[in-house]
Amino acid sequence: MNRPSSRHFLTASSLALLMALTPAFAQEPATPGAEAAQEAANSNEPLTAPDSQARQQQVMPESFADLVEKVSPAVVNITTTSTVSTPLARGPQLPEGSPFSDLFREFGFPGFPPGEGNPFQRGPQREQRSNALGSGFVISPDGLIVTNNHVIDGADEIEVEFFSGKRLPAQVIGKDDKTDVAVLKVESDDPLPFVKFGDSDRARVGDWVLALGNPLGQGFSASTGIVSARNRALSGTYDDFIQTDAAINRGNSGGPLFNLDGEVIGVNTAILSPNGGSIGIGFSMASNVVSKVVEQLEEFGETRRGWLGVKIQPVTDDIAESLGLSEAKGAMVTDVPAGPAADAGMKAGDVITSFDGGEVKYPRDLVRRVADAPVGEAVAVVVQREGEPVELQVTLGRRELAEGTGSGKVSSAEETASDVMGMTLAPLTPEIAAELGVSRDMQGLVVQSVDPSGAAADKGLVAGDVITEAGQQPVATLADLEGRIKEAREAGRKSILVMVRRAGEPRFVALPVG
């Protein structure tokens, strides 16, 4: 993402790693919260602010202490440990391709025979353990915790510290790099105090908010401010950030942003700063985005977003005038490759104005609504075509499978899946076809998983691909494919040509049959 040189977007987390050999920077949290934590845990109810009805008027309270005391037991510090490799310095670093590099290669260097290249550029690596800090919050009494993906990404070990001082190891349930959300799980003998998500769409510019977390490794800390702006986008496809002037610093990443009712309306994620510290411009991913991602990560361990299968652009005033539209709004379709939209009859030049009953003003509106829509179900899409509204019924596919990033595992296969040529294959049913975003009439075998060390992986096949031909003959069942493989072997061939469709796009791949 290009940014002005005087500005820097930073994840509000542990961008600087604390090496294991240095003293721990985080201080022990204050212990008075232990009583509140135990009392809240015993109630087995989400933590909320007192007198929430009165707080809805957004009158500045005399103190935020009651709110902090009520919700703080559900806020946690997160420490991650990972192994990093660093080169052992053996001299000045010389750029590859410099005259000195050529000199070393040709004549060698004391202690380095000719041909070894630049002795200062290469060298042994040493591994060190490093720690990083972040924040999070508990969303269920059985120990589900929400944080940022960048807080735990690449970690070998994750430890969660509660406001009471209690520490528990955590496991990753699922993570989503597109929204920078991760869900962790801790095991506790007793129910844990937790908080609930609020409706971020109800937050207004000027509303009071409370940020809690572990800034700069200093331990539990609270800061207050207002909602400075709504619907901010930084660089992600699904960005919907709440901007706030509540102080957010490194280490706050993953921590909650509360409204005065004690509901989480955002997850603190990034700051805009020229110096790495808070200057009053912080960003929290809106809870209405986060809560949907969390539900999917909890249920599936991954996201399952809808896929429409179109390329779009904004409708400008000039485009609106040329198309005879009364307003410059909607998402103009520029291309319709093979996929759900093409199957439903959508065309390039259509302007999408409504999706599943909701108005589409901007392309971002459409992207979010499609992502939230159920995979494999038909939705109504209204387009403006030649000055007239046209309603289409589109059965959405799954974006992760269309991109080749999903697991591709489908439990509704009618026959038992089999391992063939380094792949787990199952017959393509109309239900699976709808989930993949291909024609429900397509016949073939869907790739459910790929052995990363097998020939299929070497040829670039991924979960979600569909094999429709083998040996230049259609295949609809596992028996069909096995028959084609047998014929290839009997003919003395070492490989078989198969047609693979990904998001409807075909390509041929030769797979070994030996």
CATH number of the domain at 487, please.
Answer: 2.30.42.10
Q: Hey, what are 316's tokens? A: 């400008």
Query: What are the pLDDT digits (tens) for 52-83?
Result: 544 455 667 788 999 999 999 999 999 998 87
| pLDDT at 30 (0 to 100) | 37
Q: Are residues 383 and 331 in the same domain?
A: yes
> Whose CA is closest to 264, among 280, 242, 297?
242
Q: How confident is the model over 281-306, as a mean pLDDT? A: 92
Mean pLDDT over each residue of the chain, to the nearest integer: 80
Cα gap 478→60, rounded to integer Å: 67
How many structural domains is the chain composed of?
Answer: 3
Catalytic residue (choose from 14, 135, 176, 180): 180
- 4-18, 228-242, 313-327: least confident range: 4-18
Q: Are residues 284 and 423 in the same domain?
A: no
Q: Is 150 part of any known ligand binding site?
A: yes
- Is residue 247 included in any domain, yes or no? yes
Cα gap 19→509, rounded to integer Å: 47
Q: Are residues 269 and 152 in the same domain?
A: yes
**Which residues, 6+ apart, have CB-to-CB distance to 391 below 8 Å?**
380, 381, 382
| pLDDT at 26 (0 to 100) | 32
Q: Are residues 453 and 497 in the same domain?
A: yes
Q: Are residues 334 and 442 in the same domain?
A: no
On whether the CB atoms of residues 246 and 225 are closer than 8 A, the answer is: yes
| Residue 313 host element (H or E) | strand 311-314
Catalytic residue (choose from 221, 253, 273, 439): 253
Q: Are residues 288 and 313 in the same domain?
A: no
Q: Is 251 part of any known ligand binding site?
A: yes
Q: Is 245 a catalytic residue?
A: no
Q: How confident is the model over 447-467, as a mean pLDDT? A: 86
Catalytic residue (choose from 13, 72, 135, 150): 150
Share of the chain above pLDDT 90, in %: 35
Q: Are residues 69 and 190 in the same domain?
A: yes
Q: Are residues 170 and 43 in the same domain?
A: yes
**Which residues, 6+ apart, have CB-to-CB distance to 266 below 8 Å?**
200, 209, 241, 242, 244, 256, 257, 284, 285, 286, 287, 290
Residue, of 218 and 57, whose pLDDT is higher: 218
Q: Hey, what are 177's tokens? A: 């790099």
**Strands 181-185 and 144-147, sheet pairing:** antiparallel
pLDDT at residue 490 is higher than 70? yes
- Phi, psi values for residue 100, rounded to 5°: -65, -35
pTM for the full predicted model = 0.64
Q: Are residues 391 and 269 in the same domain?
A: no
Domain final residue pick, 249, 265, 299: 299
- Is residue 457 included in any domain, yes or no? yes
Residue 232: strand pairing partners: 241
Residue 1: exposure state from Cβ atoms within 10 A (0-12, 13-18, ≥19): exposed
Q: Is 150 a catalytic residue?
A: yes
Q: Are residues 315 and 188 in the same domain?
A: no
Q: Is 6 a catalytic residue?
A: no
- Is residue 213 included in any domain, yes or no? yes
Q: How confident is the model over 305-323, as a mean pLDDT? A: 88
Q: Is 180 part of any known ligand binding site?
A: yes
Cα gap 434→444, rounded to integer Å: 14
| pLDDT at 137 (0 to 100) | 97
CA of residue 394 relative to chain centroid, distance: 25
- Is residue 104 included in any domain, yes or no? no
Domain final residue pick, 382, 400, 418: 400
- Residue holding tokens 């009712």? 261
Cα gap 114→406, rounded to integer Å: 48
**Strands 46-47 and 194-195, sheet pairing:** parallel
Q: Is 253 part of any known ligand binding site?
A: yes
Cα gap 428→420, rounded to integer Å: 15
On whether the CB atoms of residues 422 and 454 are closer than 8 A, the answer is: yes
- Residue holding tokens 């003998």? 189
In the chain the first and final C-alpha atoms are separated, in Å, by 47
Residue, of 491 and 217, whose pLDDT is higher: 491
- For residue 393, which amino acid is it? Q
Q: State the residue range of the domain holding 204.
A: 9-49+63-80+132-299
Residue, of 94 and 223, whose pLDDT is higher: 223
- Among the ranges 165-174, 409-418, 459-468, which has the highest mean pLDDT value? 165-174
- Is residue 113 included in any domain, yes or no? no
Q: Are residues 395 and 447 in the same domain?
A: no
Cα gap 27→383, rounded to integer Å: 58
Q: What is the three-state SS of 90-129?
A: CCCCCCCCCHHHHHHHHHCECCECCCCCCCCCCCCEEEEE
pLDDT at residue 92 is higher than 50? no
Cα gap 9→124, rounded to integer Å: 34
On whether the CB atoms of residues 272 and 280 are closer than 8 A, the answer is: no
Query: What are the pLDDT digits (tens) for 183-216?
Result: 999 999 999 999 999 999 999 999 999 999 988 7
- 38: domain CATH number is 2.40.10.120
Domain final residue pick, 282, 299, 316: 299
What does each C-alpha distance from 34 to 52, 284, 437 come to in angstroms? Answer: 24, 28, 51
Q: Are residues 174 and 147 in the same domain?
A: yes
Share of the chain above pLDDT 70, in %: 76
pLDDT at residue 403 is higher than 50? yes
- Is residue 347 included in any domain, yes or no? yes
- Is residue 362 included in any domain, yes or no? yes
- Is residue 508 included in any domain, yes or no? yes
